[in-house]
Structure 1
């Protein structure tokens, strides 16, 4: 039997340790000994009312202890970063080989674990936005893991980026990365060629009003947990011909994007912003702090023996 974290349904202590059989990988899966994992804020919401059988954990790094039976993916002994569908907050997890990438010695497990969901989201979001060189970009909800990656990658691609954060402290690192930081959408100096909107509620229509005629708004989240209301007549009075595009990062394979992210970190072009690193015994407290926005960037939990 091995330990894993399971949902409790208790908002104050969202997970607890339990004994479980060691994961059994399918033919196209590798068995990974987890060294580090990184929760995402969206997972904290799922834990409030967990569905039956839900096992949290989508971002992990560790060591392959059993290679896939079909011969695909990394060999036994390989250090890897992975993006399983669920179940990564455990000592061992079976991961499809299309959702793994090998780690070089220069990228440690903690930084690697901070990459998958937020990093893949950032890469795919920026591909959706198209070429950003010389373009004005507005990013809302910018102080989380996705926001840090989008900021660094977009500025590196030549964008003039304005980032919206709730407080000056949460915007400090984004300013260091080259963003202009404001603390409400109304303070952003438009118009913008592209708006990347992740908070929903009243922020989306406010951001939409700042898009240039013919520009693009990509809606990729609702972190405020407040539904959006759009008034058709307000739209008529705003910029003409704006495209509103829904975005969701999901869609396998994830391995190539993970490998691209690892390469960016290895070559000092992407720097995971880790606001907390702690042993996995502190996962419940960390989840509460992540949910309540008391952690800037990513949180990483260590199971022990990380490299």
Structure 2
């Protein structure tokens, strides 16, 4: 079979190679991949790839071999999955605790855009706690996670202020329920009960200063690739008893959260925001666009016919 492997070349980060079809472990299904979605964090790993790196964590396709231990769906079932690696290939093995069965109304392209970004959004909101009637500030809002977070938080009754680079990127977030769009944290009309911060650099301290006393900042990324610094005395002069929480989405099982996301999409309560769809022969070009933040929302690559 064919798979995409890292090259270490920033101008063409992946290339095709021949590989043996994966042999699933007893608790895994073998999936014929119809669509996959790269994440911006994966583009960073490709800059100096570790030996044996096989990217790919967001996939959708058809189960062609059921799990030997009897868990999971039978062959012939359409699924979305979140494997630990190796999803940029014609076939991939996925643990049965990290898949969900697709309803007929959701196609492979839509489904592939859900896993990492959608699971992150769901788990971030759980971490933030009840947001009904609360003021929420979200940085880096025009990426995949940001779109899902905005729509789900607004639907839960939060007043969401989203920080985006441009008005064009923010327009869709207003449609999804954001109360306000700003392009600089300094322009955000605070204070806020909750900050969801994903850019790092100077944004961490700036958003922290916008909290109400006792407010919570959940730090879930560093998209700017600039380390964040917080001055103790600035913090002391800021909101009293502010809480900074580190967040990482990882932790199986992923299947239940994927099923939740599918239910929301199927019911029209969550929308997959896909800024770029292309055949997987164009993966290298799409990865560069994603790395350079030229894609709003998610990018999805298709392998052959998908539905």
TM range (shorter): over 0.9
Deviation digits for residues 206-256 of structure 1 (CA, Å, limit 9, x no counterpart): 000000000100000000000011100001110000000000000000000
Identify unmatched segments of 5+ residues in structure 2: none
The answer to whether the aligner puts 1:116 opposite 2:143 as a matched pair is no
Q: Cα deviation per residue 1:12-53 (whole Å; 9 max; x = unaligned)?
A: 100000000011101000000000000000000000011010
Q: Does 1:299 align with 2:302?
A: no
Please name the residue that 2:276 is paired with. 276
Q: Secondary structure at the match of 2:106?
A: coil
- Aligned to 1:9, what secondary structure does the other structure show? coil
Question: Following TM superposition, by how much is the alpha carbon of 1:304 offset from its aligned partner in structure 2, in angstroms?
Answer: 1.0
- Matches of residues 54-73 of structure 1 in structure 2 within 5 Å? 54-73=53-72
Show the counterpart of 2:287.
287
> 1: distance between equivalents of 2:68 and 2:176?
43
Aligned to 1:95: 94
Point out 4+ residue stretches in structure 1 off by more than 4 angstroms. Answer: none
In structure 1, distance between residues paired with 2:196 and 2:173? 15
Report the Cα offset of residue 62 of structure 1. Answer: 0.1
TM-score of the pair, normalised by structure 2: 0.99
| Matching residue of 1:234 | 234
Cα distance in 1 between the residues matched to 2:50 and 2:113: 25
Which residue of structure 1 lines up, in the alignment, with residue 208 of structure 2?
208
Q: How many Å apart are 1:176 and its aligned residue?
A: 1.1
Task: After superposition, give the CA deviation of every residue in 1:105-144 in whole Å (9 maximum; x if it has no partner).
Answer: 1000000000000000000000000011000000000000
Distance (whole Å) between structure 2 residues aligned to residue 171 and residue 82 of structure 1: 29
The aligned counterpart of 2:218 is 218
TM-score, with length taken from structure 1: 0.99
Counterpart of 1:127?
126
Unpaired segments ≥5 residues, structure 1: none
The 3-state SS of whatever aligns with 2:234 is helix
Distance 2:175 2:260 in 1: 23
Q: CA deviation at 1:94?
A: 0.4
Instruction: Provide the C-alpha distance between the structure 1 equivalents of 2:287 and 2:208, rounded to a whole number of angstroms.
Output: 32
Mapped to 2, the partners of 1:168 and 1:305 lie a distance apart of 35
CA RMSD across the alignment: 0.4
Q: Offset of 1:177 from its aligned partner?
A: 1.1
Post-superposition CA distance 1:244-272 (Å, at most 9, x none): 00000000000000000001011111001
Q: Distance in 1 between matches of 2:107 and 2:253?
A: 23
CA distance in 2, matches of 1:8, 1:236: 47
Distance in 2 between the 1:126 and 1:163 partners? 15
